[in-house]
Structure 1
Amino acid sequence: MAPAGTATAQASTNVAPLQFRDAAEETRFHHLTSELRCVMCQNQSLADSNAQIAHDLRREVLDLMHQGKSDDEVVAFLVARYGEFVRYKPAVEPATWLLWFGPALLLLGGGIAVARVVRARSRREVPAPSEDQEW
């Protein structure tokens, strides 16, 4: 028993396995959770993460599916709650243009820089070999 005046915190963990109605729902669930990022792990999908929040979010996704929500509605719910970061493939919108088009712009800029260097070197006059020089 905890002494009076102290608070005990305990994570609410539901260890019951997820219950799917059929194989199609399970396939849809796995597809959805593999496209969503764990908000704690950041480099793992919701399906792969063992973090407690990932367990909770997997349950939330299944609950939303059981409520008849479409995949887009489930993703929209999580994006509204955790931001665009929760997606592995963020939507193409002005806030994410740099993310989508930045690598192409860097590649284009690098190609232009290389072309200028090559062109500048080819314009240099190469001195003609002198007749008294031996090779």
Structure 2
Amino acid sequence: MNNYNVNKEMIGSALVFVTFVFILPTLSPYFTEDCKTRIKRIKKEKCKIKVEKIEHTGTFKLIGTDPETFQHCECSDGNRWWSFYKKEIEPGDYFVKNNGEPYFKIIKKDTIIIHEEKCYSK
């Protein structure tokens, strides 16, 4: 290997280093969802289910019965908001996320847990 090839490899490594250390962190705010947009998206979500089973494969999925129609149904959350609280949800609980609301409820036999998504000022 001659000096020319070694220098090319070093330049390539340096470019990768600069990209990961300086450029990506600078651009990352442009690729993340701002809070108001996230709240709008969350308000569009809807799920009412009596939980029978919880799956954690790729997306967070609740499997159970619709309490109004008694039909089998599934609710899933791809943005991981619900999955932050997965340890609080058990089979037999009711999970309620109404359209237009920035929060969801986990209804247990003796407790109602409410988790609301909020925007905090910087």
Structure (1/2) with the larger helix percentage: 1
Larger RCO, structure (CA 8 Å, separation 6 or more): 2
Q: TM-score, normalised by structure 1?
A: 0.20
**Structure holding more strand per residue:** 2
- Structure having the higher Rg: 1
**TM-score, structure 2 as length reference:** 0.22
